[in-house]
């Protein structure tokens, strides 16, 4: 094809994909042959007829048309072909300057305290002006763009703040990101947030649905999923946007103030948020917060707070950083989103250790863009309207089936009931009676003194406990058996194939292809998946002692404790003998068990109890018969960002239990403490954090969200 024709085509290419299908089709008919020929020339003839930029532009335009008109997608088109050399993942890119996260303020008093603490730090009197910028906190994912001599040379996600993923090819498909700059410092790292608008998110989910794909939960997930695509043409077909709000390494300053630097970035061609204001007092900050909060529903994209930054860059420099957050900035978060709905009924779930957890089944309602149909009710006291000390919560109002309730969620938290509308309470509603027998097995329910949790006492007969124990047994940190997840465990349990862990290892002999072909005949199982499962089970016949101990699901024995016990005892036999010997609480073996570093009375008691029952011991014997148990190795904490640090967790953790969070922290060499003191290095604060958060802030302890924490330990 003549180059002049291609140039003519490129010259007439519109900025946006046409809305009319006929036009879109027209364009594709013109572009397709060019792309095809160019692709062949490049890959097969090694003699490109288009520059990379020209090729990319055409491909991006075709992808944009496909995004708008999914009916026009053709599997033959270059846009749909996955790159010739599939990559295992993204290359890692080390940030020359660490990417930071932000501390949080949840109410006005936190903001007042933020200002006061900076004044104390900088010794600025109350009457002197300390200026800030206030701008929306975009709910997306952060990206660092590096420009050298005006050309975009790399783009990296935040990752753990130190090393991110190289998403350069994908960033090049985002139209808000300039590829070249004029008049920029020779070295310029621009940082900001990649996000997706509500409209684009809805359109993407509609396309996902029509192509049988899984919808994204929210625009942030959609943006992250789209940016972190190994095939840049997929990223190109999903409209991502970018706001610049910060910077990393610079060869020359961008300005003297945050306001000035942002203006400079805007001049260079970046999108900066139009709701950014310069404020000269805390009152101004709070006013602007209210303005942004009011504008929020109509912005067309998600924001989750307002970020305040000290305006004067020389003051920013003096204030500096804590380990992962700047002292000179804070994110003032919006209150959790709420919705009113009907609580249809209260159900009880029985966990692995027999704990009864009440769950509210709700008439589905949308809260902050997510459909919610369940809310946690914690325990009997919570339902009755009191806390663990007996003090009233919700003004002492109880929760009843049939009630109209206000539920809320902040971030990705499991929704909670905030309030009950007594005016709408049905006349026949009656106080909820917490079961005194287990709804699954009928055993008595007991609540030990001082404990908020009620437990089923039918440990050995309760099917719910047995299933939950099995789920735990095959879970990731335990036996981690591929193809044997919660769903399969439930199905096998219901069919009586797997009632206890040992049955997993006789599954093939009893139900496998060699025998009755039973598994293969089950819905969802074919020859391959059945064989894969049996292979995965075979693989796990050899297991580390630590995993085995953890897999047993002994109360108070998490991953780290299991590893610690494994290291201490070395072999299964030594472990078991010592625990069984410690049965007598007055005897020397009990003392020895208690003296192990990391084993307290509570864990020692739980271990002894676990090995106490004849039935349980027999089940363990049946299990270990199938296993080769490997002795434990000492973990290495080399390279761990948190080794030696003292960490406190407070508030609700959303991605793992407190026990698991603790275990993981300790596995990385951190010490986990229960209360905040001057020796605390990091406070991981989830929603609902209260006095510990306040104390940590007063002490200047590094406070981070669960996400930040996970990013930090994912080194």
**How far apart (Å, rounded) are the C-alpha atoms in residues 2 and 489?**
63
Q: How far is the CB of 179 from ligand IVH (least distance, A)?
A: 22
135 binds ligand IVH (CB under 6 A): yes
Check residue 137 for interaction with ligand IVH (CB under 6 A). Answer: yes
- Piece in contact with ligand IVH (CB under 6 A), picked from 110-118, 137-145, 416-424, 473-481: 137-145
Q: Token digits for 272?
A: 């900066």
Nearer to ligand IVH, 285 or 564 (CB): 285
**What DSSP letter does each residue of 351-418 carry, written as one string?**
-TT-BEEEEEEEEEEEETTEEEEEEE--SHHHHHTB-TTS-BSGGG----TT-EEEEEESTTPPPEEE
Q: Please identify, using beta-carbon distances, which residue of 322 and 520 lies nearer to ligand IVH.
A: 322
Residue 410 binds ligand IVH, judged by CB under 6 A: no
User: Can you tell me the distance from the alpha carbon of 452 to that of 440, in angstroms, rounded to the nearest whole number?
Assistant: 20
Options 307, 319, 355, 478; binder of ligand IVH; rule CB under 6 A: 307
Q: Which is nearer to ligand IVH, 261 or 467 (CB)?
A: 261
Q: How many binding residues for ligand IVH (CB under 6 A)?
A: 14
- Residue from 54, 226, 246, 258 binding ligand IVH (CB under 6 A): 246
Is residue 60 exposed (0-12), middle (13-18) or buried (19+ Cβ within 10 Å)?
buried
What string marks each residue from 27 to 46 as x (binds ligand IVH by CB under 6 A) or -?
--------------------
- Choose the binding region for ligand IVH from 132-140, 231-239, 369-377, 381-389 (rule: CB under 6 A): 132-140
Q: Looking at 185, 248, 326, 354, which residue binds ligand IVH (CB under 6 A)?
A: 326
CB of 159 to ligand IVH, least distance (A): 11
The residue number whose beta carbon is nearest to ligand IVH equals 142
Packing angle, helices 601-610 and 588-595, rounded to 10: 120
Site string for ligand IVH, 600-639 (x = CB under 6 A): ----------------------------------------
Residue 164 within binding range of ligand IVH, rule CB under 6 A:
no
For residue 513, the 8-state DSSP code is T
**Whole-number Å distance between alpha carbons of 193 and 136:** 11
- Indicate the residue among 97 and 675 with the shorter CB distance to ligand IVH: 97
Task: Give the C-alpha distances (Å, rounded to integers) separating 470 from 126, 351, 373, 480, 614.
Answer: 61, 11, 27, 11, 19
> CB-wise, 90 or 245, nearer to ligand IVH?
245
Question: Which span sits near ligand IVH by CB under 6 A: 136-144, 371-379, 618-626, 692-700?
Answer: 136-144
Q: State yes or no: residue 672 binds ligand IVH (CB under 6 A).
A: no
- Residue 313 or 346 having the CB closest to ligand IVH: 313
Could you tell me the smallest distance in angstroms from the CB atom of residue 273 to ligand IVH?
7
The rounded distance, in Å, linking the Cα atoms of 208 and 200 is 12
Instruction: Identify residues 184-203 at the interface with ligand IVH (CB under 6 A).
Output: 193
Cα(711)–Cα(715) distance, rounded to whole angstroms?
Answer: 7
CB of 104 to ligand IVH, least distance (A): 8
Q: List the x/- string, 94-113, binding to ligand IVH by CB under 6 A.
A: ------xxx-----------
Among 17, 73, 118, 138, binds ligand IVH (CB under 6 A): 138
- DSSP one-letter code for 422: G
CB of 143 to ligand IVH, least distance (A): 9
Nearest CB to ligand IVH, comparing residues 69 and 137: 137
Nearer to ligand IVH, 100 or 477 (CB): 100
| Residue 356 CB-density burial (10 A; 0-12 exposed, 13-18 middle, 19+ buried) | buried
Distance of alpha carbon 700 from alpha carbon 103, whole angstroms? 11
**Residue 581 beta carbon to ligand IVH: minimum distance, rounded to whole angstroms:** 51
| Cβ neighbours of 186 (radius 10 Å) | 11
Which is closer to ligand IVH, CB of 247 or CB of 534?
247
DSSP three-state, residue 642: coil
From 28, 236, 279, 329, residue interacting with ligand IVH (rule: CB under 6 A): 329
Query: What tokens appear for 33 in the block?
Result: 């042959």
**Which one of the spans 79-87, 325-333, 368-376, 616-624 is the region binding ligand IVH (CB under 6 A)?**
325-333
Name the catalytic one among 68, 137, 333, 662.
137
Length of the chain: 715
- Separation of alpha carbons 508 and 241, rounded Å: 51
Among residues 130, 164, 129, 124, the alpha carbon closest in space to that of 146 is found at 164
Angle value at C-alpha 233, between 227 and 238, nearest 5 degrees: 55
Identify whether 416 is a catalytic site residue: no
Helix axes 282-295, 108-122, angle to 10 degrees: 140
Beta strands in 509-595 (DSSP E): 542-544
Q: Quick check: 142 binds ligand IVH (CB under 6 A)?
A: yes
Query: Shortest approach of ligand IVH to residue 101 CB, angstroms?
Result: 4
Q: Which stretch binds ligand IVH (CB under 6 A): 65-73, 214-222, 324-332, 344-352?
A: 324-332
Residue 417's DSSP bridge partners are 407
What is the C-alpha to C-alpha distance for residues 563 and 664, in angstroms, rounded to an integer? 11
The DSSP annotation for 267-309 comes to HTT----TT-EEESSHHHHHHHHHHHHHHGGGSSS-EEEEEEE
User: In angstroms, what is the minimal distance from the CB of 311 to ligand IVH?
Assistant: 13
- First-to-final CA distance of the chain: 50
Q: What is the contact surface with ligand IVH in residues (CB under 6 A)?
A: 100-102, 135, 137-138, 142, 193, 245-246, 307, 326, 329, 331
Catalytic center residues: 137
């Amino acid at each position: 094809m003549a180059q002049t024709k291609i140039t003519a085509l490129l010259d007439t290419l519109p900025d946006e994909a046409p809305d009319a299908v006929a036009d879109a089709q027209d364009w594709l008919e013109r572009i397709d042959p060019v792309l095809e020929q160019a692709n062949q020339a490049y890959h097969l003839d090694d003699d490109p007829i288009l520059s990379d930029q020209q090729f990319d532009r055409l491909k991006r335009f075709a992808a944009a048309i496909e995004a708008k008109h999914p009916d026009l997608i053709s599997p033959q088109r270059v846009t749909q072909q996955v790159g010739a050399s599939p990559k295992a993942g993204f290359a890692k890119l080390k940030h020359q300057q660490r990417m930071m996260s932000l501390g949080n303020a949840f109410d006005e008093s936190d903001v007042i305290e933020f200002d006061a603490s900076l004044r104390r730090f900088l010794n600025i009197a109350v009457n002197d002006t300390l200026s800030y910028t206030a701008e929306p906190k975009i709910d997306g994912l952060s990206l660092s763009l590096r420009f050298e001599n005006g050309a975009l040379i790399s783009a990296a996600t935040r990752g753990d703040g130190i090393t991110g993923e190289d998403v350069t090819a994908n960033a090049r498909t985002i139209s808000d990101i300039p590829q070249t700059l004029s008049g920029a410092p020779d070295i310029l790292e621009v940082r900001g947030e990649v996000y997706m608008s509500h409209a684009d998110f809805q359109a993407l989910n509609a396309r996902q649905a029509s192509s049988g794909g899984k919808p994204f939960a929210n625009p942030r997930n959609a943006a992250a999923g789209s940016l972190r695509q190994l095939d840049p043409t997929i990223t190109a077909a999903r409209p991502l946007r970018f706001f610049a709000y910060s910077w990393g390494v610079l060869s020359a300053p961008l300005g003297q103030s945050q306001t000035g630097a942002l203006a400079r970035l805007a001049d260079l061609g970046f999108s900066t948020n139009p709701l950014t204001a310069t404020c000269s007092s805390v009152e101004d900050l709070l006013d602007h917060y209210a303005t942004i909060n009011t504008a929020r529903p109509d912005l067309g994209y998600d924001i989750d707070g307002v970020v305040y930054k000290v305006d004067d860059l020389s003051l920013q420099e003096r204030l500096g950083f804590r380990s992962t957050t700047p002292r000179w900035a804070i994110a003032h978060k919006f209150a959790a989103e709420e919705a009113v709905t009907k609580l249809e009924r209260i159900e009880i779930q029985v966990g692995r250790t027999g704990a009864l957890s009440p769950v509210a089944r709700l008439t589905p309602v949308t809260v902050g863009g997510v459909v919610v149909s369940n809310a946690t009710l914690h325990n009997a006291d919570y339902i009755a309207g009191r806390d663990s000390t007996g003090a009233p919560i919700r003004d002492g109002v109880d929760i009843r089936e049939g009630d109209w309730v206000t539920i809320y969620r902040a971030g990705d938290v499991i929704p909670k009931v905030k309030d009950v509308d007594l005016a709408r309470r049905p006349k026949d509603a009656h106080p909820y009676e917490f079961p005194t027998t287990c709804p699954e097995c009928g055993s008595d329910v007991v609540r030990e003194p001082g404990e908020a949790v009620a437990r089923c006492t039918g440990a050995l007969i309760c099917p719910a406990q047995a299933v939950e124990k099995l789920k735990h047994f095959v879970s990731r940190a335990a036996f981690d058996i591929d193809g044997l997840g919660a769903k399969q465990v439930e199905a096998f349990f219901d069919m009586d194939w797997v009632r206890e862990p040992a049955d997993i290892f006789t599954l093939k002999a009893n139900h496998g292809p060699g025998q009755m072909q039973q598994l293969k005949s089950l819905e969802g199982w074919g020859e391959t998946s059945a064989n894969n499962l049996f292979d995965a089970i075979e693989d796990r016949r050899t297991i580390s002692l630590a995993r085995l101990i953890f897999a047993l699901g002994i109360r108070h024995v998490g991953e780290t404790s299991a590893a610690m016990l494994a290291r201490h005892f070395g072999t299964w036999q030594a472990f078991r003998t010592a625990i069984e010997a410690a049965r007598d609480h007055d005897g020397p073996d009990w003392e020895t068990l208690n003296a192990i570093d990391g084993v307290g009375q509570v864990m020692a008691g739980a271990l002894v109890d676990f090995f106490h029952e004849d039935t349980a011991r027999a089940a363990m014997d049946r299990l270990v018969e199938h296993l080769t148990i490997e002795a434990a190795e000492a973990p290495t904490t080399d390279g761990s960002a948190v080794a030696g640090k003292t960490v406190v967790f407070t508030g609700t953790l959303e991605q793992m239990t407190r026990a698991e969070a603790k275990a993981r922290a300790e596995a990385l060499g951190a010490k986990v403490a229960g209360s905040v003191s001057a020796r605390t290095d990091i406070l991981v604060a989830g929603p609902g954090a209260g006095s510990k958060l306040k104390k940590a802030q007063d002490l200047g302890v590094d406070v981070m969200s669960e996400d930040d924490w996970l990013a930090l330990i994912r080194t």
